[in-house]
């Protein structure tokens, strides 16, 4: 059975009144604006099931913001735990040890912001076109191009072979 129209109307009114403000606020702690939009939308979905309680609070908007912040924290924690699990298992047994070039590249990539790192890996290592990367990351193609350009500039400095003249 669906939600009563009054609940849907009340949640829709709250959504219209504060969605943009919430996304702007959550974007400050999320990885990207697209992530912030997703987190705020998920918080509103959760609000539907709790409207009877939340509607009685002094600020339902604050409840949605808190839920979105918690979702962001949970997402970061899960990603960090997944990375730790991956690192704990190490490289596949049939893989030769990485070359010094690969180690240098890996260390340089780690110094890039996540968005730039994603763009570089997807474009240069997986060979995906900009449009497909934009779709996968839920960003505009121009954002992907900007991230790639900034990443290339940063990597050029990080991977520059230093020559010492005597």
Q: How far apart are CA 140 and CA 158, in angstroms?
A: 27
Q: Where are the domains of the chain?
A: 5-89, 100-159
> Which two tokens mark 127?
């060979």
Model confidence, pTM: 0.52
Residues of the chain with pLDDT below 50 are 103, 162-166
Q: Which helix (H) or strand (E) is 79 found in, with range?
A: helix 60-89
CA–CA distances in Å: residue 1 to residues 4, 5, 71:
9, 12, 27
Q: What is the pLDDT of residues 94-138, one digit of tens each?
A: 665 555 555 467 788 888 888 898 898 889 888 889 998 898 888
Dihedral of CA 95/98/102/103: which sign?
Answer: positive
The pLDDT of residue 21: 94
- Using CB atoms within 10 Å of the CB of residue 116, give its burial: 0 to 12 exposed, 13 to 18 middle, 19+ buried: buried
- Between CA 89 and CA 30 the distance in angstroms is 28
Q: Does domain 100-159 have CATH number 1.20.210.10?
A: no
Task: Centre a 10 Å sphere on the Cβ of residue 106 and count the other Cβ atoms it contains.
Answer: 10
Q: From CA 15, how far away is CA 12, in angstroms rounded? A: 5
> Residue 37: its pLDDT value, please?
96
């Amino acid at each position: 059975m669906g939600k009563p129209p009054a609940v849907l109307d009340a949640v829709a009114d709250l959504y219209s009144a504060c969605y943009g403000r919430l996304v702007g606020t959550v974007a400050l702690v999320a990885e990207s604006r697209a992530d912030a939009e997703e987190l705020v939308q998920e918080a509103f979905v959760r609000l539907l099931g709790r409207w009877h309680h939340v509607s009685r609070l002094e600020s339902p908007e604050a409840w949605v913001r808190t839920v979105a912040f918690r979702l962001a924290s949970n997402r970061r924690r899960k990603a960090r735990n997944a990375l730790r699990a991956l690192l704990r298992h190490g490289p596949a047994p049939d893989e030769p040890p990485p070359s010094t070039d690969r180690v240098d590249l890996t260390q340089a990539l780690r110094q890039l912001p996540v968005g730039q790192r994603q763009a570089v890996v997807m474009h240069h290592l997986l060979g995906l076109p900009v449009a497909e990367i934009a779709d996968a990351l839920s960003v505009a193609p121009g954002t992907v191009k900007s991230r790639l350009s900034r990443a290339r500039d940063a990597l050029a400095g990080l991977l520059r072979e230093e020559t010492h003249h005597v």
